[in-house]
Amino acid sequence: MALIPLQYRLDGPSHAPVVLLVPPFGTTMSVWDPQMPALTRDRQVLRVNHRGHGLSPVPEGPYTVQDLALDVLGVLEDRGFTRVSAVGAGLGGSLLLWIAANSPRTLERLALLAGTSRTPSTHCWDHVASRAREDGMGAVVDEVLLPWFTPDLTRDHPEVAARFADDLRGVDPGAFASICEALTGMDQRNLVASVRVPTMVVSAAHDPVLPPGHGRRLADGIAGARFEVVTGAAHLLGVERAERVNELLREHVAP
């Protein structure tokens, strides 16, 4: 499949080293807004929107993880960036795992938030895909959004959860379904040992989608990887505990 020209945005001081941010599926590049003040102090920050998210194109499916990873590499090629540090969140980080294993010279440093090397068998992404395709995004918003935040956040800051729900409703249902199907049964455990760049894996203590055991196993498989657990957060830990996540990212990808 041909590369898809993803929507992207570049912020920060020109000619500074580049940090690439790859969001979780179902969110747009705005999920990284809490990280921008910390990272753009002395880095260019490149953000992307996946297929069907924001203004990115919506090619006909099916998709594979490789297709989605090559989309990201296409953005780097378009900008002429040959070597970057990168941060991936959720299953969006799977694209960076693929890149780290298959295009190792591309990445200088890697951080994976709520990461895993394989989709848990308990995830029913194929069923989510069917409902999104048949009934639209409104049919899956509540289910997909539920594990993103702790009950404390949804109670104390309902406007934050509402904003992410609106973004999720705006995703193209066909593209979202094709991405869900690409994730169904994804298993990249054979790639993990090939990751040679300095890597940090950060899990959220209260993440019901990918609890810390997934991050621990991922970090254990990467030589020299650092593993951290952020308390008081669910799946979107970069939103819910931005201060701590920013501290970790500054230490690792923007020292």
Q: Read off the DSSP letter of residue 112.
A: E
**Whole-number pLDDT of residue 92:** 86
**Whole-number pLDDT of residue 255:** 82
Instruction: Answer yes or no: is pLDDT of 1 > 60.
Output: no
What is the pLDDT of the chain when averaged over all its residues? 96
pLDDT tens digits for range 99-125: 999 999 999 999 999 999 999 988 889
- Residue 151 burial by CB count (10 A; 0-12/13-18/19+): exposed, middle or buried? exposed
Confidence of residue 2 (pLDDT cuts 50, 70, 90): low
Taking the alpha carbons at both ends of the chain, their separation in whole angstroms is 37
Nearest to 204 by CA among 172, 239, 161, 171: 239
Q: With contact defined as beta carbons under 8 Å apart, do 27 and 164 qualify? A: yes
pTM of the model: 0.97
pLDDT tens digits for range 16-62: 999 999 999 999 999 999 999 999 999 999 999 999 999 999 999 99
pLDDT tens digits for range 158-168: 999 999 999 99
Instruction: Answer yes or no: is pLDDT of 218 > 60.
Output: yes
